[in-house]
Structure 1
Amino acid sequence: MSPEQIGFTLLYLGVFLLIGKWIRVNIKWTQKLFLPSSIIGGFLALLLGPQVLGNILENVVDSGSFLTNGLIPEHVIDVWTTLPGLMINVVFASLFLGTTIPGVRKIWRLAGAQLSFGWTMGWGQYVLGILLALLVLSPVFGLPPMTGALIEIAFEGGHGTAAGMGETFKDLDFAEAYDMAIGLATVGLLSGVIAGIILINWGVRRKKTEVIKDVKGFSDLRKRGIMEFQNREPAANMTVRTESIEPLSLHFALIGLAILVGYLILQGLIWLESVTWGAATDSEFMTYIPLFPLAMIGGIIIQIVFSKIDQNHIMDRPMITRIQGFALDILIVTAISTISLDVIGDHIIPFLLLAALGICWNVFGVLVLAPRIIPSYWFERAMGDFGQSMGVTATGLLLMRVVDPENDSPAFESFGYKQLVFEPLLGGGLVTSLSVPLIFEFGPIPFLIISAVMCLLGLLLGLLYFGRKKKA
């Protein structure tokens, strides 16, 4: 494949992102669902690619025609297939760069209840998923027990984590899990917005909310995904002069350094295993670990170092966030557009069972567990974890903005502090990345026991400690 062809694939990406944005601006139902342009563009590319339009046209045109691949050339699909696994490293390396990491005591005081609730929801997805795999998916449909981990990988982790686990799935001879996980992440995102808006309407009518007393609609510009004129601010801050280095280049380099540190950590773990327990047990467990959670650890290391040596505060969090968002848009478009519809069709019943179980557990958490765990503003704060548990942190932020438009509750602050402990472990962190290799290596029962203990720990701490606190 020539460099020109690779460059052409990036032009295709831009076209589908622009078309996705145009649809969001002009089509009402996409505005009601708050669909990101990357989701719309990804679905459009899927429809116009080889799996839908290509399959239709191959019955009409000659076998040698380029139209048998739809409107997207084969070399574009080949490049797009590899991009999600690369972009997820950028997303996770950026998570903590430019942030202030507070002490454990402050996190516990402000976000302890939020962490307890999110912890219960995350580990509970493993418990229910593995039980479903052991009782139904494996004996009835012949799927491996690690299928049960897909709920947490796709719902808590979202498209990015699902895409980042692609190589791990292949290494474990379970390549079809990638397409199932991407499909589940899409179902989770869509149902998260729909179910979240329904829950907010229910909460307002039943007087469960403490901030809003009626459902206020967003402005027309907000629904179309356009920033209101009075709210427009610079996308980032110029912390260095362009004659020395372009600020975007500097921050891109910092993210690259974080990924490199993560890569070196991974290679060190693989080497350590090869000369210690791996040599004795003939295991290669570390080779199954994807790079992205260690890229996140690399980002934390770079942030700690910079917080001590960067006296001029040249690292700008908004700039990091823009690069992270760019990488996530690319990831979502390419992941959705290259998903295998045949794989999902072949496993449609297990796919629907996993999706239904994940949705029901998250709704149960909001309606039953949240009011008993979170002592104050429970509904506003639960919406953040509900959105995240359905596939993407942005959904949680969106739902919190609907239910608390002026940030009058502690929802945003507690959710943000909770992420500092939650993200390194669940929702795409170390536990998420290790779950499938652990189940493959040691079997589902040990991981099920660990998950049940962790879920119960979060539940009991929430019910017996935080749940008994009076409203503050």
Structure 2
Amino acid sequence: MDYSPWSLLVDAGLVGLLLLVGTALRATVRPLQTLLVPASVIAGVLGLVLGPEGLGLLPFSEQLDTYSSVLIVVVFACLSLTDDVDLRRLGRSVAGFASYGVLFYAAQVAIGVVLGLLVLGPLFGTHDGFGLLLFAGWAGGFGSAAAMGAVFGEGGWEQAQSLAFTSATVGLLVGIVGGIIQAKIGAKRGYAKEFEGLDALPEHLRTGVLRPEGERPAIGTHTFSGGAIESLGFQAAIVLVISAAAYGVNTLLGEAIPAVSFPLFSIAFMVGLVVRGLLSATRTRRLVDSESLKSISGSATDVLVVCGIASIVPSFVADYWLPLLILFVVGLALCLLLGLGVAPRMLGDAWFEKQIFTWGWATGSVSTGLALLRIIDPRLRSRTLEDFAIAYLPLLPVEVTAVTFTPVLALAGAGWAIAGIWGGIAALALVVPPLVLRRRTRPRAEDRTSEPTG
């Protein structure tokens, strides 16, 4: 059947139905609440089972796997307009937290690539970029899995998208189950002094439903009168313009430099920064509502997850089940080493709360990390979230750079360059906190000269 706008409508309706069912299941099924499984993941698994790659009961079009590549462009377009990267806000008090996050990201890239080049490639004939699936699915999450899978797919590795989404799904489960186990162990050893068990989680975190009116924050703020244009429509228009402009730029680059494939989502991010600069220069940036854009980005991510999981090709996963298993086992060992061996030495006060939160978002998502944090610190006395808001600033360029350039380098056969660069970043992340702490504790020259001499 030829693809048409009506095909898009049917696909959208089916994705919407799956999301509604997933939301209802999360709100009512206790095991899903215990595992904190997002509704989008539930919907994606249902789509995989019932869709063309499963029982064939849902009549999705053949473009289902393409939607993730389109939606990640929307996500990065929103990101360029909403996230401020100002490293001057990074204070000494959160330097260890920031360095630990960078270490988590860089180590997954470096260890995964080295494992792929030294073991998985020679034994199983895997692609040079196979080891990047660890970062793409775990620290990167579903968004990075879609982005990197699309780049690899355009480069000729058609299985990459399915494998990346499989990695993201496994990473999410590792984050949830591993985090809950660590929380219980940490409580027994006295690391988590505020631990009250899963039952202490607020109802809205377990069910996903905000019931009392007082707990329902606004999705966004109106910046226009409805008589002129609907405010949400204006925000969506900016995102669509950036996304379409990025596609146009990418097409021109492809014609000018056909030998090089440029990641479309990265171009969208750059175009978004240009638009952001124009808005600031013309003093019209006040018309852009960040909260509305975050809602658009979050919605795009939910649909992306559903389409990504539902389009996984089981035969691809079956062909690579053993190298995937090895990669995931090594990834789990790495995360445990960092969480239980390195974190106490890097994170200082409230190290366990900070590392359990990092465990959640570096294997699944920020929402997973938040849920785990609420298990061991229900009243949020550790101030982990406040520190994370600043500590994430240096992580953003690290993540965007990894997602943008590592698959391109892997396709160019520069796997060892990736391992060297990101191994160096990981080593630097280990070195920075001791230097900062040493600088904090070193007495100033004027203090030494003012001391009595005897």
Residue 239 of structure 1 pairs with residue 223 of structure 2: yes
Number of the residue aligned with 2:314:
341
Q: Which one-letter code corresponds to 2:259 in the other structure?
A: E
Deviation at 1:11, TM superposition (A): 1.0
Change (3 A) 1:133 1:103: closer
Out of 408, 411, 422, the position equivalent to 1:437 is: 408
Written as runs of structure 1 = structure 2, the 5 A alignment for 1:237-276 is: 237-260=221-244, 262-263=246-247, 266=250, 274=257
CA distance in structure 2 between the aligned counterparts of 1:395 and 1:217, rounded to whole angstroms: 16
**Residues 86 and 393 of structure 2 are in contact (CA less than 8 Å); yes or no, is this contact kept in structure 1?**
no
**Residue 57 of structure 2 corresponds to which residue in structure 1?**
71
1:403 to 1:243, Cα distance in 2 relative to 1, 3 A: farther
Name which of structure 1's ranges 441-450 and 242-251 shifts more when overlaid on structure 2: 441-450
2:259 to 262, 278, 284: 284
Contact 1:196 1:399 in 2 (8 A): yes
Rate the CA distance shift 1:397–1:213 in 2: closer, same or farther, 3 A.
closer
Q: Deviations over 1:59-108 (max 9, x none)?
A: xxxxxxxxxxx2112xx241321110011111122225245x36422224
| Aligned twin of 1:358 | 331
**CA displacement at 1:168 relative to structure 2:** 1.9
TM-score by length of 2: 0.89
CA contact (8 A) 1:293 1:430 kept: no
Tell me the residue number matched to 2:179: 196
RCO comparison, higher one (Cα < 8 Å, 6+): 2
Paired with 2:66 and 2:384, the residues of 1 have a C-alpha distance of 37
Deviation, 1:457, is 0.9
- Residue pair 1:191, 1:390 contacting (<8 A) in 2 also: yes
Q: Which residue of 1 aligns with 2:42?
A: 40
In 1: Cα distance, 2:93 partner to 2:227 partner? 43
Q: C-alpha distance in 2, partners of 1:458/1:464?
A: 11
CA contact (8 A) 1:262 1:294 kept: yes
1:116 aligns with 2:79: no
Q: CA deviation at 1:20?
A: 0.8
Q: Residues 142, 293 of structure 1: CA spacing in aligned structure 2 closer, same or farther, 3 A cutoff?
A: same
Does structure 1 retain, via aligned residues, the 8 Å contact 2:152–2:411? no
Deviation track 1:301-351 (CA, whole Å, cap 9, x = no partner) reads: 434443454468322222111111110111011100010111111110011
Alignment of 1:381-396 (within 5 A): 381-396=354-369
Is structure 2 residue 332 aligned with structure 1 residue 368? no
Distance 1:208 1:352 in 2: 31
Q: Deviations over 1:445-470 (max 9, x none)?
A: 22222222111111111344348868
C-alpha distance after superposition, 1:371-393 (max 9, x if no partner): 11122222222233222210323
* 1:224 partnered with 2:207: yes
| Separation in structure 2 between the aligned mates of residue 398 and residue 407 of structure 1, nearest angstrom | 11
1:171 and 1:102 mapped to 2: Cα distance?
A: 30
CA contact (8 A) 1:98 1:315 kept: no
Q: Sequence identity of aligned pairs in percent?
A: 28
Is the 2:343–2:355 contact (alpha carbons within 8 Å) kept by the matching residues of 1? yes
Distance 1:255 1:342 in 2: 36
For 2:243 and 2:92, how far apart are their aligned partners in 1? 32
Once the 2 structures are TM-superposed, how far is the Cα of residue 262 of structure 1 from its aligned partner?
4.5
Q: What is the alpha-carbon distance in structure 2 between the residues aligned to residue 390 and residue 354 of structure 1?
A: 14
* C-alpha distance in 2 between matches for 1:71 and 1:389: 35
Q: Tell me, what secondary structure is at the counterpart of 1:451?
A: helix
Aligned match of 1:314 = 287
Would the aligned equivalents of 1:372 and 1:463 in 2 still touch at CA under 8 Å?
A: no
Measured in 2, the distance between the counterparts of 1:169 and 1:346 equals: 18
The one-letter code matched in structure 2 to 1:458 is A
| Matched-pair contact (CA < 8 Å) for 2:85–2:396 | no
Q: CA deviation at 1:205?
A: 2.4
Partner of 2:25: 23
Determine helix, strand or coil for the equivalent of 2:224: coil
Q: Residue deviations 1:2-60, cap 9 Å, x none?
A: 3222211111111111111111112110111111111111101111123332xxxxxxx
Shift of 1:179: 1.2
- Partner amino acid for 2:49? L
* Paired positions, count: 437
Name the residue aligned to 1:172: 155
Q: Which residue of 1 aligns with 2:391?
A: 418
Provide the residue aligned with 1:51 in structure 2.
Answer: 53
Partner amino acid, structure 2, of 1:71: L
Write out per-residue CA displacement over residues 154-191 of structure 1, whole angstroms, 9 at most, x where no aligned residue.
11111122112233212332211221111010000111
Cα separation, 1, equivalents of 2:389 and 2:246: 24
The aligned amino acid for 1:245 is: I
Deviates more, 1:344-353 or 1:394-403: 394-403
Q: 1: CA distance between counterparts of 2:255 and 2:395?
A: 28
Match of 2:126 in 1: 143
Q: Secondary structure at the match of 1:34?
A: coil
Question: Are 1:192 and 1:386, in contact at CA under 8 Å, matched by a contact in 2?
Answer: yes
8 Å CA contact retained: 1:131, 1:148: yes
| Contact 2:195/2:377 (8 A) holds in 1 | no
CA separation of 1:406 and 1:269: change in aligned 2, threshold 3 A = farther
In the alignment, what sits opposite 1:81?
65
Look up the equivalent residue of 1:208 and give its one-letter code.
Answer: Y
**Aligned partners of 1:207 and 1:213 also within 8 Å:** no
Q: TM-score with structure 1 length normalisation?
A: 0.85
**1:58 maps to what in 2?**
none
Whole-angstrom CA distance in 2 between matches of 1:292 and 1:452: 25
